[in-house]
C-alpha cells in the first residue's frame, strides 16, 4: 500500500474522530468543565503525549527562520481554532458545528489566493458565496436557545472563526511538514500552545473538580485529549506530507454525516428544515470550490 493511500486513510480517520467529537465534547460542557478549561486540558494532555514519543522520532532542531511560522501555526492551530470551536460548541449544537466546520475548504481556497497567489475561478467564487450563505443561514435563522445551547447564533459565528483559523493553519503548516517529522512538529506546537492559551484558560482549568469527576466525564475528556487532539493532529500532519492542504480540508465533508448520525442516535440534537437547507448550501458551495484540485504547496 503506497504512502498516498495511507495518507487518505489517515485523513479519513481524523475526520471520523472529529465527527464523533461534536457530541462527545458537548456532553461535558459546562457541567464538568468550561470550554476554555477544556482547551488547556487538550493542549496540556497532547503536549505530554507527543513529548513522550520523542525517543521514537528522529532528533531534529527547528531552524531559526522557521520559528515565526511555528508560532503562527500554534496561534491559529492550537489556540484560536480550539478556543473558538469549544466556546461555540458550549453555546450551539453538535449538528450546527459539524456543518459549519466544513467551510474550512472554502477558507483554505480564499487564504491560498492571498498567501500563495492562487487564482479563484468564477465557479469557485460562486461556491464560496453559496457556502458562506449556508453558514450565515445557520447564524441568522437558527433558534436562539435550546436545551444546553444558550446562544446558538453567537456559537455559530464562533464556528465560522474556527473554520477560518483552521484553514489558515493548514495553509501555513504545510511547508513545515516537508521539513520535519510529525512528532517533532507536534511536540513543539503543543508546548507553544500551552503558553499561548494559559492566560485565557487558567481560571476555568483550575475550577474543575478533578477529584469528583464521574466516569462519563472522564472518558469523554480522555477521548478529546487522546483522540480529537493527539490522534487527529498526528494523522493530519502525516496526511499533509503526501496530500495538499485543500485535499485534507475536503475530508471534513465526512464530519457532518458522522456527527449528525451520532448526535441523533444518542439524542443530543435533531434535524430541522433550517439545518437541512443550510447544510445543503454549505455542501454545494464546498463541492464547487473543490471540483478542481487547488495547489496549496508553499
pLDDT at 291 over 70: no
pLDDT score for 183: 93
Confidence of residue 297 (pLDDT cuts 50, 70, 90): very low
d(CA 273, CA 280): 11
pLDDT at 146 over 80: no
- Rama region for 214: left / alpha / beta (φ>0; ψ in -120 to 50; rest): beta
The pLDDT tens digits for 197-243 are 999 999 999 999 999 999 999 999 999 999 999 999 889 888 888 87
d(CA 222, CA 217): 9
User: Distance of alpha carbon 278 from its chain centroid, rounded?
Assistant: 20
| Boundaries of every domain in the chain | 3-289
pLDDT score for 289: 63
pLDDT score for 47: 96
d(CA 109, CA 116): 10
Confidence of residue 294 (pLDDT cuts 50, 70, 90): very low
String of DSSP letters for 121-172: PHHHHHHHHHHHHHHHHHHHHS-S-BTTBS-HHHHHHHHHHHHHHHHHHHHH
Which of 15-24, 119-128, 134-143, 280-289 ranks highest by mean pLDDT?
15-24
User: How many other C-beta atoms can be found within 10 angstroms of the C-beta atom of residue 209?
Assistant: 9
The pLDDT tens digits for 48-101 are 999 999 998 899 999 999 999 999 999 999 999 999 999 999 998 887 887 787
Amino acid at each position: 500500500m503506497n504512502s498516498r493511500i495511507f495518507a487518505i486513510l489517515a485523513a479519513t480517520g481524523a475526520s471520523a474522530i472529529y465527527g464523533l467529537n461534536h457530541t462527545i465534547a458537548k456532553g461535558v460542557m459546562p457541567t464538568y468543565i468550561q470550554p476554555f478549561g477544556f482547551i488547556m486540558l487538550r493542549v496540556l494532555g497532547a503536549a505530554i503525549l507527543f513529548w513522550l514519543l520523542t525517543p521514537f522520532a528522529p532528533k531534529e532542531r527547528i531552524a531559526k527562520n522557521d520559528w515565526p511560522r511555528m508560532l503562527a501555526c500554534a496561534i491559529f492551530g492550537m489556540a484560536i481554532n480550539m478556543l473558538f470551536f469549544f466556546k461555540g460548541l458550549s453555546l450551539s449544537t453538535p449538528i450546527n458545528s459539524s456543518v459549519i466546520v466544513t467551510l474550512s475548504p472554502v477558507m483554505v481556497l480564499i487564504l491560498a489566493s492571498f498567501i500563495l497567489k492562487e487564482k479563484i475561478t468564477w465557479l469557485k467564487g460562486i461556491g464560496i458565496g453559496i457556502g458562506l450563505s449556508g453558514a450565515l443561514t445557520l447564524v441568522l435563522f437558527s433558534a436562539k436557545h435550546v436545551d444546553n445551547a444558550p446562544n446558538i447564533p453567537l456559537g455559530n459565528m464562533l464556528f465560522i472563526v474556527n473554520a477560518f483559523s483552521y484553514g489558515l493553519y493548514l495553509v501555513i503548516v504545510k511547508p513545515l511538514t516537508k521539513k520535519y517529522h510529525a512528532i517533532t512538529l507536534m511536540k513543539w506546537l503543543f508546548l507553544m500552545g500551552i503558553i499561548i492559551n494559559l492566560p485565557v484558560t487558567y481560571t476555568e482549568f483550575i475550577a474543575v473538580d478533578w477529584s469528583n469527576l464521574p466516569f462519563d466525564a472522564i472518558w469523554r475528556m480522555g477521548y478529546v485529549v487522546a483522540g480529537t487532539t493527539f490522534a487527529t493532529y498526528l494523522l493530519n500532519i502525516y496526511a499533509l506530507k503526501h496530500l495538499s492542504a485543500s485535499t485534507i480540508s475536503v475530508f471534513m465533508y465526512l464530519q457532518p454525516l458522522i456527527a449528525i448520525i451520532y448526535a441523533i442516535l444518542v439524542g443530543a440534537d435533531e434535524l430541522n428544515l433550517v439545518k437541512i437547507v443550510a447544510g445543503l448550501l454549505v455542501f454545494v458551495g464546498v463541492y464547487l470550490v473543490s471540483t478542481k484540485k487547488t495547489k496549496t504547496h508553499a
